[in-house]
Amino acid sequence: MASHGALKEVATQGPPVHRKPAKELSHIEMREAENGGVIAEHHFTAYEHKPEPHVFGDGEGHKLAAHIEHHLGISMPGKSKTENAEEKEGDEE
């Protein structure tokens, strides 16, 4: 005869709980914002996690750089090569 103890345990557990997978960053899309700043939108590997926008205002480039360094692990020391080139052109005049 079958044991009813196993069925009783399953019945008391309740319905299975669906858990979202871990929130793992896939990539970041950046676009210009209406305020002259930048919108950095995080996209995740699992479709259960909706994209998350992070808005940076005009003049908040240092915050955007820190955000990129933090989430993508890209080091952004000092000024970009483009900024350095513009400064050198200004000095020659």
- 5-44, pLDDT tens digit by residue? 666 665 667 777 888 899 999 999 999 999 899 999 999 9
Give the CA radius of gyration of the chain. 25
pTM for the model = 0.62
Say which amino acid occupies 77.
P
Output phi, psi for 51, to 5 deg.
-60, 145
> Which residue spans within 1-93 are E strands per DSSP?
25-32, 38-44, 52-56
